[in-house]
């Protein structure tokens, strides 16, 4: 820390007021003009329950988590604990068990996220090696009790079922883009059976459009 | 005769109290709307008729706010002076309400004949024909200061205390230019009665704002400070003092403070309109004499209330336009600028009344406009060219104190 009066401090003098400014008239007029301009300008309030804020890019929005399913509908998670290790809020609790399926060793018997502790930083999504946990664009998260806000595996899988059409999982997006560079330098994985989204350059835009069209709330509620 | 006076007074008190409380409640809503619109928001627009989905643009909000205030716990902190703590909001509300006793809210009603043959005319002011008029208003304004200062003192909290002390100093300082500008009006009108002052303006058709612009400016600034509105709301500067003198208050007591602040603003707006903007007078619309029909009487009330509402809207817009003064700037403005302007103005009007009373009124207007321009330019020229209050570089290092005591030991 340098002391005042030493050469490290650059002393900035206030600009002296001009004779016109010293009458205060321009400043007073400027202040009122700004106020009146905003009085009649377009309002930005979103009338929440009737209108809903649409995240400009739902794919990268950090809302409620979901647990992705693979092509056979099984939970994709391999219970590697990387997400719970990466989590700065320590809100992910996993109980691993021996996998009943031949293509992996472990799977999560229990997988709970305490949404009251979660800070929605997205570290878990970044840490996941198999793209099993992702953050959706659901943002109106509420509950009537603390227990209700601890999301278990079934609930997280349900969120996947709600949001998979509007917000496709990462691999499908990568496959849709096809030639784009994949983070980490790996080759893009095989495209799944479905033809959607189409493998052209505008895929990201269409995904965003579909996400905006589809209502991101649970069907039937 | 006595019974009809009693009925008249009771009806007037009822109308005034009900009207003022209603106005204060709905002006809070208007203030919140304006605040929201200026900040590109929509403001309260949800609360309508309870138990239905009818919203009425949020017109139910004041009722909901009132119910909320009534239902809230009235918490008394353990460390307060109980007597003064309870007394302060009551005092402030009573003073704010009592000040309206002398404020006319219209002209007169058409006279009607009593059974015994006398003609009875009702004046639309609670205390008609009170010769102290404006003095009574200023006196009640002075009592209102007690409420603020006592509230700050009794709360036994340093932020409340700062708020109360600031407010007391501010209100006392601004009483002086306020009184000077009112003095010039009283000189010109020749009466302390507010209805006479309106009549004087209505007779000539020259509103005092056009005749005495210098006094109008001084009065506008001083009354804004008296009402504690931004840019002069140092008493409750949220960013510095939490809530100022009412930090420790809650429930109905807090509401009494907040309502009396709004009443101060309404009273200030009434005074601006009555003293300077012609009261109920409007050219070609309301006439000028005291003989009116029912339509004319109603029209005068509407004109007066409309003017007051416009002035209040101005107050609310100003709140979001200009930054708050620092306390030394506030005192500079009162004692160095407004006081001298007010003195010059009073001297000018007094001299005109003494030597040039027979001249047409526009001569006073011209003299006053010229003096306004001259005084403004002179003030701008001699005001400091910058408001930098940091220690200046020529004064040498600051905070770099040589440790004399240590070297001596």
pLDDT, average across residues B40-54: 82
Region of B197 (left: φ > 0; alpha: ψ -120 to 50; beta: rest) is alpha
Q: Which residues pair with A135 in a beta bridge?
A: A65
Contact call for A22 and B385, based on CB within 8 A: yes
Are A91 and A120 spatial neighbours (Cβ–Cβ below 8 Å)? no
Report residue B400: phi and psi, to 5°.
-100, 60
Contact A16 B318 (CB under 8 A): no
Question: What is the residue extent of each domain of chain A?
Answer: 65-179+196-216
Whether ipTM > 0.85 holds is no
Does A139 score more than 60 pLDDT?
yes
pLDDT at A103 over 90: no
* Contact across the interface for A3 and B400, Cβ inside 8 Å: yes
B194-218, pLDDT tens digit by residue?
888 888 888 888 888 888 899 999 9
- Could you tell me if A183 lies within 8 Å of chain B, comparing CB atoms? no
Hey, are the CB atoms on B39 and A38 less than 8 Å from each other?
yes
The verdict on A16 touching B (C-beta cutoff 8 Å) is: yes
Which of B38, B41, B386 is opposite residue A16, by nearest beta carbon?
B386
User: Which 3 state secondary structure label does DSSP give A51?
Assistant: coil
**Chain-chain contact of A32 with B397 (C-beta, under 8 angstroms):** no
Which residues touch B331 (CB under 8 Å, ≥6 apart)? B169, B173
- Mean pLDDT calculated for residue range A61-78: 88
Q: Model confidence over B64-80: pLDDT tens digits?
A: 888 888 888 888 888 88
* Amino acid B44: pLDDT: 87
Shortest CA distance from B318: residue in chain A: A32
Cross-chain Cβ contact B380/A16 below 8 Å: no
Pull the structure tokens for residue B73: 């716990």
Mean pLDDT over the full length of chain A = 77
**For residues A217 and A40, what is the distance between their CA atoms, to the nearest angstrom?**
34
Q: Assign residue B155 a region: left if phi > 0, alpha if psi is -120 to 50, beta otherwise?
A: alpha
Pick from B167, B172, B169, B177: nearest CA to B147: B167
Q: What percent of chain B has pLDDT over 70?
A: 92
Nearest-10 Cα torsion for B155, B158, B164, B169: 150
Question: Using the 8-state DSSP alphabet, how is residue B57 labeled?
Answer: G
Highest mean pLDDT among B303-317, B322-336, B384-398: B303-317
Condensed to tens digits (0 to 9), the pLDDT of residues B383-397 reads 776 666 665 555 555
Is B321 in contact with A13 (Cβ distance < 8 A)?
no
Q: What is the C-alpha separation between B225 and B315, in angstroms, rounded?
A: 11
pLDDT at residue B216, as a whole number: 92
**Upper half-sphere CA count for residue A114 (Cβ side, 13 Å):** 13
Nearest C-alpha in A relative to B320 = A35
What is the pLDDT at residue B45? Answer: 84
Looking up tokens 């600028």, which residue turns up? B337
Q: Token pair for residue B63?
A: 């009722």
* Span of B122-131, B152-161, B205-214, B369-378 with lowest mean pLDDT: B122-131
Q: pLDDT-based confidence at A215, cuts 50/70/90?
A: very low
Indicate if the pLDDT at residue B403 is higher than 70. Answer: no
Q: Would the pLDDT of A190 be above 80?
A: no
Residue A9, pLDDT score: 66
Which of B130-134, B156-160, B259-263: highest mean pLDDT?
Answer: B259-263
- Is the Cα torsion angle B326, B332, B338, B341 positive or negative in sign? negative
Where do runs of H (alpha helix) occur along B227-338? 238-241, 251-276, 294-319, 327-332
State the Cα angle at B234 between B240 and B26, rounded to 5°. 105
Q: Is residue A192 helix, strand or coil?
A: coil
Dist CA B70 CA B91 (whole Å): 19
What 8-state DSSP symbol labels residue B108? B
Q: Which of A35-44, A48-57, A195-204, B101-110 has the lowest mean pLDDT?
A: A195-204
Q: Is residue B107 within 8 Å of B124, Cβ to Cβ?
A: yes
Measured between beta carbons, the chain A residues lying within 8 angstroms of B320 are 35
Residues 44-73 of A with CB under 8 A from B: 44-45, 47
Q: Looking at chain A, list the stretches that DSSP marks H as alpha helix, in order from N- to C-terminal side.
A: 19-22, 25-39, 82-86, 123-127, 153-163, 170-177, 203-213
Give the C-alpha distances (Å, rounded to integers) separating B253 from B76, B87, B124.
Answer: 10, 10, 31
What the block records as the tokens of B184 is 């010039």
Check the CA dihedral A204-A205-A207-A211 and report its sign.
positive
| pLDDT score for A143 | 83
Most confident region among B127-131, B195-199, B223-227, B340-344 by mean pLDDT: B340-344
Residue pairs spanning A and B at CB distance below 8 A: 69
CA-to-CA separations, B30 to A41, B36, B53, B145, in angstroms, rounded: 18, 10, 22, 26
Contacts B399 to A, Cβ<8 Å: 3-4
**pTM check: above 0.80:** no
Q: State mean pLDDT over A7-11.
A: 67
Topology (CATH level 3) of domain A65-179+196-216: Alpha-Beta Plaits (3.30.70)
Query: How much is the average pLDDT of B111-125?
Result: 76
Residue A2: list chain B partners with CB under 8 A: none
**Is the confidence at residue A88, as pLDDT, over 90?**
yes
């Amino acid at each position: 820390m340098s002391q005042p009066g030493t050469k490290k401090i650059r002393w900035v003098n206030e600009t002296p007021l001009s004779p016109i400014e010293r009458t205060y008239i321009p400043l007073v007029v400027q202040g009122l003009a700004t106020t009146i301009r905003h009085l009649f300008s377009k309002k930005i309030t979103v009338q929440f329950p009737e209108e809903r804020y649409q995240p400009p890019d739902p794919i990268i929005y950090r809302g409620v988590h979901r647990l992705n399913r693979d092509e056979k509908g099984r939970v994709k998670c391999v219970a590697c604990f990387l997400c719970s290790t990466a989590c700065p809020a320590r809100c992910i609790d996993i109980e691993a068990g021996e996998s009943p399926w031949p293509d992996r060793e472990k799977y999560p018997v229990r997988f709970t996220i305490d949404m009251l502790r979660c800070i929605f930083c997205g570290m878990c999504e970044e840490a996941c090696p198999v793209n099993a946990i992702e953050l959706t664009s659901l943002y109106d998260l509420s509950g009537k009790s603390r227990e209700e806000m601890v999301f278990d595996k079934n609930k997280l899988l349900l969120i996947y079922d709600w949001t998979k059409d509007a917000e496709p999982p990462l691999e499908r997006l990568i496959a849709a883009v096809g030639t784009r560079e994949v983070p980490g330098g790996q080759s893009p994985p095989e495209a799944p059976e479905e033809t959607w989204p189409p493998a052209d350059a505008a895929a990201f835009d269409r995904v965003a459009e579909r996400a905006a069209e589809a209502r991101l709330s649970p069907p039937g509620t | 005769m006595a019974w009809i006076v009693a009925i008249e007074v009771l009806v007037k008190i009822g109308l005034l109290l009900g009207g003022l409380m209603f106005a204060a409640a709905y002006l809070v809503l208007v203030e919140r709307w304006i605040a929201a619109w200026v900040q590109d928001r929509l403001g309260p627009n949800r609360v309508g008729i309870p138990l239905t989905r009818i919203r009425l643009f949020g017109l139910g909000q004041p009722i909901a706010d009132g119910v909320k205030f009534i239902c809230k716990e009235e918490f008394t902190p353990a460390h307060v002076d109980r007597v003064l703590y309870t007394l302060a909001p009551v005092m402030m509300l009573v003073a704010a309400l009592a000040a309206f006793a002398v404020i006319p809210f219209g002209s007169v009603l058409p006279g009607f004949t009593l059974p015994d043959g006398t003609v009875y005319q009702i004046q639309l002011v609670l205390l008609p024909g009170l010769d102290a008029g404006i003095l009574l208003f200023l006196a009640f304004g002075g009592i209102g200061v007690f409420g603020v200062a006592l509230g700050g003192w009794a709360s036994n909290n340093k932020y409340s205390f700062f708020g109360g002390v600031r407010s007391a100093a501010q209100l006392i300082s601004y009483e002086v230019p306020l009184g000077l500008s009112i003095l010039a009006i009283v000189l010109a009108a020749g009466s302390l009665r507010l209805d006479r002052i309106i009549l004087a303006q209505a007779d000539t058709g020259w509103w005092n704002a056009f005749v005495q612009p210098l006094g109008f400016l001084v009065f506008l600034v001083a009354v804004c400070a008296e009402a504690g509105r931004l840019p002069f709301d140092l008493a409750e500067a949220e960013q510095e003092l939490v809530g100022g003198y009412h930090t420790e208050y809650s429930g109905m007591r807090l509401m009494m403070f907040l309502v009396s602040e709004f009443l101060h603003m309404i009273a200030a707006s009434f005074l601006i309109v009555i003293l300077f903007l012609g009261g109920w007078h409007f050219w070609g619309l309301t006439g000028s004499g005291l003989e009116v029909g029912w339509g004319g009487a109603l029209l005068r009330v509407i004109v007066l209330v409309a003017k007051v509402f416009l002035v209040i809207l101005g107050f609310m817009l100003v709140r979001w336009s200009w930054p708050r003064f620092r306390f030394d700037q506030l005192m500079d403005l009162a004692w160095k600028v407004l006081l001298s302007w007010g003195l010059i103005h009073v001297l000018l009007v007094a001299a005109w009344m003494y030597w040039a009373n027979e001249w047409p009124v526009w001569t006073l207007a011209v003299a006053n406009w010229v003096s306004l321009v001259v005084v403004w330019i002179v003030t701008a020229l001699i005001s400091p060219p910058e408001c930098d209050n940091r220690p200046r570089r020529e004064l040498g290092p600051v905070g770099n104190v040589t440790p004399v005591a240590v070297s001596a030991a």
